[in-house]
Amino acid sequence: MSLFFPKLGIDLGTTNVLVYVPGKGVVLNEPSVVAVSTENNKVLAIGTEAKQMIGRTPDTVIAYRPMKDGVIADYRVTEVMLRYFIRKALTWNFFRPTVLVSVPAGVTSTEKRAVIEATVKAGAKDAFIVKEPILAAIGAGIPIHEPMGRMIVDIGGGTIDIAVISLGGIVASTSVKCAGNKLDHAIIDHVKKQYNLIIGDRTAEIAKIKIGSAVSVTEEERVSINGRDLVSGLPRTIELSTNVLVQAMNRELREMMSALRKVLQETPPELASDIIDNGIILTGGTSQLKNLPDLVHMRTGVNAKLAQNAYYCVARGTGIALAHLDTYKKSIIAKR
C-alpha cells in the first residue's frame, strides 16, 4: 500500500463498525453508537465509549445507533461517526483515503447514495460500495468468479443478507430486517411477559451469546440476569436456561429461515444443485449463535457451515476487494 494513497475497507454495520487496512488487517472494531447532547446537538462520544453510556445517560444525553437495519437512519451523525473512525484508523496519514464500504443486499439507490455522500463528506477521496453478501463470500475465501452456485448467508445486527452468487454476480438474493438486534428484543419481551422483569439490550445480548441456541438442547446451560421488577420497581435477579431463550427467539428465527427458503426457491436448478454440493456458508456476528447450522439444515435440507472467523468475513472481504480493485470493479462495485 502506498503511503500517499491510503485505502480503507469499512464494514458499516448496524451494531459494529469494522475498519480494515490492506496489509494490516482489521485495525478497528467498535460499536456503531454515538452519544449526543440534546441541549446543543453536539456529539459527545463515539464507539466503545458511547456504547457504555446506553441506558445510563442523564436526560440531556442520548446514546443511540445512527444506522438502522443496515442503512443510514441519521445522516449527520453517521457522517461524524465515519469521520472519527477514518481518522482513528489513519492516525499517521494526511492524505484522503480510498474507502470501500459494505451495504446490505436489498439497499435502494437512494440509500446507496447516502452512504457514498456520507463517506466522501467524512474525508474519503473516492468511495466505493459493495453488497455485503459479495464481500462476505470474498472474505470467506469463496472463489466467486467461478461458474458455480454458492449460497452465502450474512447475519449481522440489523439484517440477514442471503445471496446466491455465481460468476462474480448475485443471481438471487434478499435482505430481511430481522437479525441479532431482533433476537435481543425477543428475549427482552419474553422475560418481561414470563417473569415480570425489565432487562436492557446489553443484558439480553449477553444472555444470547452465553447460553443462546437456535434449536432446543438436551443439556441446558444457565445464566443469571439482573433487571427491574415490573410490579415492585425494585432490582431483581432471575436465572434463564438455554431452551427458554430458544422459545423466546423462535418467531424471529423462523422469519430468518423462511427468507432463506425463499431465496432457495428462486434459485435456478443448476445452481441449486451446486448449493446442495457446496453447502450454505454462514457469516456475520449473529451466525455464531450456537447450533444455527443445524437449524438451517432442518429447515432447508441443505448442509450449512460457519465460515472461519465468521464475524470478520465482510471486513476481510473489503480488504481483498480493495487490493484487487480492477478485478472486482466490473461486477460489484458502484461509485457515484
Q: What is the pLDDT of residues 124-148, one digit of tens each?
A: 888 988 989 999 999 999 998 899 9
The torsion of the CA quartet 330, 334, 335, 336, rounded to 10 degrees, works out to 130
Higher pLDDT, 228 or 110: 228
Residue 2 clears pLDDT 80, i.e. is over it: no
- What is the structure's pLDDT at 221? 95
Task: Report which of 268, 30, 284, 250 is spatially closest to residue 132, judged by C-alpha positions.
Answer: 284
Interatomic CA distance for residues 312 and 228, integer angstroms: 35
Residues 6+ apart with CB under 8 A from 13: 32, 67, 70, 102, 156, 157, 158, 285, 314
Residues 6+ apart with CB under 8 A from 223: 206, 207, 210, 211, 239, 240
Q: Contact, 321 vs 12, CB < 8 A?
A: no
Average pLDDT over residues 190-211: 94
- What is the structure's pLDDT at 1? 43
Lowest mean pLDDT among 48-57, 260-269, 325-334: 325-334
Residues 6+ apart with CB under 8 A from 116: 101, 127, 129, 335, 336
Task: Give, rounded to a whole angstrom, the gap between the first and last alpha carbons of the chain.
Answer: 24
Higher pLDDT, 57 or 134: 134
Residue 250 clears pLDDT 60, i.e. is over it: yes
Binning pLDDT at 50, 70 and 90, where does residue 334 land?
A: low
Q: Is the dihedral of CA 133, 135, 140, 145 positive or negative?
A: positive
Type and span of the H or E element at 203? helix 201-211
Average pLDDT over residues 26-54: 89
**Total length of the chain:** 336
As given in the structure block, the three cell numbers for residue 254 are 423462523
Residue 3 clears pLDDT 70, i.e. is over it: no
Name the range with the highest mean pLDDT among 29-43, 66-80, 291-305.
291-305
Binning pLDDT at 50, 70 and 90, where does residue 257 land?
A: very high
Strand boundaries in 160-270, DSSP class E: 160-166, 169-176, 197-198, 222-229, 235-241
Binning pLDDT at 50, 70 and 90, where does residue 70 land?
A: confident
Residue 4 clears pLDDT 70, i.e. is over it: no
Strand boundaries in 208-328, DSSP class E: 222-229, 235-241, 280-283, 304-306
Architecture of domain 180-248: Alpha-Beta Complex (3.90)
As given in the structure block, the three cell numbers for residue 64 are 443511540
Where are the domains positioned within the chain?
A: 7-135+313-332, 141-178+249-310, 180-248
- What is the structure's pLDDT at 112? 86
Give the domain 141-178+249-310 fold. Answer: Nucleotidyltransferase; domain 5 (3.30.420)
Q: Contact, 85 vs 10, CB < 8 A?
A: yes
Cα-based distances in Å from 98 to 6, 118, 289, 317, 335: 6, 14, 34, 15, 11
- What is the structure's pLDDT at 133? 93
Binning pLDDT at 50, 70 and 90, where does residue 153 land?
A: very high
| CATH of the domain spanning 7-135+313-332 | 3.30.420.40
Residue 20 clears pLDDT 90, i.e. is over it: yes
Domains 141-178+249-310 and 180-248 share a fold: no
For the full predicted model, state whether its pTM sits above 0.85.
Answer: yes
